[in-house]
Amino acid sequence: MKKIVVIGPESTGKSTLCQKLATHFKTVWVEEYAREYLLEHGTNYTFEQLLDVAKGQLKKEDDTVNRLEAAGQQPPFILVDTDMQVMKVWCEFVFGKCHHWILNRIAERQYDLYLLCNIDVPWVKDELREYPEPETRKKLYHHYKELLVNQSVPWVDISGGYDERLQKAIEAINTIINPL
């Protein structure tokens, strides 16, 4: 089963894009675990707690795949809202270091496409978001882009208005699930 990951800085429309893509392609998506974790435990998190978030995210992804397989369902792909690359950026940006466990999962896990959500949409405040400043958003975006440039999985920059983003993502996914 192919896996397509949507990543990028906070408030760039990742979850909305996943939801719209899942509807369009009639597939499932793995929601971001960090949101539910932070709503339960608060936003004053520690370095160690980010490891709990990372493990929770992978458990959610693996449980989704296992559930589909157990039900005999084989969608052409699933969408993953956030992966260990996001956890790496988060750890390094906030704490200046990353857990080896996260780095090992990045090396082990296989994905088929990354969709990098650009910062060219307005930042929307909510109780979990931390970085509204344009310069910080730009730094984070470039950190994600650098990670993707330096790895072998195909990736596409998803920018523009929300409708344009959806169309770019659909086109990118079609090249993965329906190669010429």
Confidence of residue 131 (pLDDT cuts 50, 70, 90): low
CATH 3.40.50.300 fits 2-177, yes or no: yes
pLDDT single digits (tens) 99-115: 999 999 999 999 999 99
Q: In this model, does residue 129 exceed pLDDT 90?
A: no
Distance between CA 108 and CA 103 in Å, rounded? 9
Nearest to 30 by CA among 71, 70, 82: 82
pTM of structure = 0.94
List all residues 6 or more positions away from 34 whose beta carbon is below 8 Å from its beta carbon.
53, 57, 82, 128
Question: What confidence score (pLDDT) does residue 47 get?
Answer: 98
99 vs 2: CA distance, rounded Å: 26
Q: What is the pLDDT of residues 69-101, one digit of tens each?
A: 999 998 999 999 999 999 999 999 999 999 999
pLDDT in tens, 38-72: 999 988 999 999 999 999 999 999 999 999 999 99
132: pLDDT strictly greater than 70: no
Mean pLDDT score, 21-32: 96
Spatial distance between the Cα atoms of 119 and 136, rounded to a whole number of angstroms: 10
Q: What is the pLDDT of residue 127?
A: 62
